[in-house]
Structure 1
């Protein structure tokens, strides 16, 4: 990519989008184009068309999405499928129609079947039923992958897709009901510590295994793919190892300084038993993550402490 390329980062205020902006700037890409939701509603087709017609970005990174943890996905499936389909339909189509040179679509590891062989290879997509608690979001993201492939096949549009594992880090959402597991646990253990609580109960059995990737590592992977990858198949992005939810909870409790006990609630859903991505494809291309889990969790907790008051927590 040309360092002077006009790069539109959709969703630049979110966890992933903000990290991608940092990574692009660090790599020397200074001509970044951003819009807040108030300035541009990506679900509004007419507004998106007008934006692309006026600014005609060279590169598009589609990091905008309606996201949330297991509770949010299970509670608001209609919003998750509708809004994500609207966003990606509008942005991908308009990017192609306005001669955008390249687009990176970001999905999620939840696109894969619930009982997928481990580690999960890219080729396992659509080989079995999805996890019911987040199938609406997963179906929207699968549609995004297929849309990128269709536009590449029919129009020669250089649209690529990356599927990150569970992300965490600075800029995360710590909402008590709608956040993902890492920020949810950070908030719960912090509040328990401040309240002098003797125990914290986490959802599920605690046995489910999850792979966690520091968001700035993911952002560097995105820049790497923009610069080095152009092909039909989506690309997994993870760290290559996983940890149980209970182990993650204990690690976070120690970082936060919560000294009480941790109980599990098996009446609540575990979600997919395991989601470990096979990242041999991107690893063989030359990208590897740099931040260890404990180091990343400390950064995430410091970010929470510094920003909890001005984010309306």
Structure 2
């Protein structure tokens, strides 16, 4: 779908929100810069906004009509900036406040998915002396991009960890299988992308270092398994109330069963990111992808904002 000049103009002045103050600031700046280039090339009146100190003041000064959120992590992906934009009457891309907050909290999202009949990894209780069993994956309850992800095989390894005491942590039983990511664009799942990190663990370094991970789209799975995973991703997104272009990460076992790891409401848009790879496999180039995401701004927002 290529939008006409009239379609593009209806967005008005579009602010690409990037940067922020989370641990994922650098990735967000890369995502935002790529989106800004694409929207500008498509004829959108777009401006990049690196949110740092007084976000409300920066948004007012930019005088935008629509917001394309390319923020990752705390404050940008957890419902905070979404709430601010709603107060200011600015339609925005991505999931709304409640869905954003839910998916940013891995434990709460896990509970919602479990109640919806979807499979997630088994959570292991963290006692005073560490997890009740090993090996486990340890990760922050509310961070993205695999920030703080640790694979812990023993008590000794646990004791060597220097975990931030101010953060909440969750431990999960490892799931063996093929790791895939299924992006859901405007409610429809794209072809799953298989990720095969050379290190064996798809952590922050594997995600954002060129050449550190091999990608396959479609994933190297039977056709019926691919369809099943796409259906599971659509169900997960619906259960969490997500909108825009969320990405569902999962691991597919040898029997074809899929365990959902998490839902990322604002996937990366960098050169190594998975959503653009899935879109390209569907014949949607990066510019078209950005326009399609932008077109979702305000669709379930309840108002037309300042447009």
Q: Same fold by TM (over 0.5)?
A: no
Write 1 or 2 for the structure with the bigger share of strand: 2
- State the TM-score, normalizing by the size of structure 2: 0.35
- State the TM-score, normalizing by the size of structure 1: 0.34
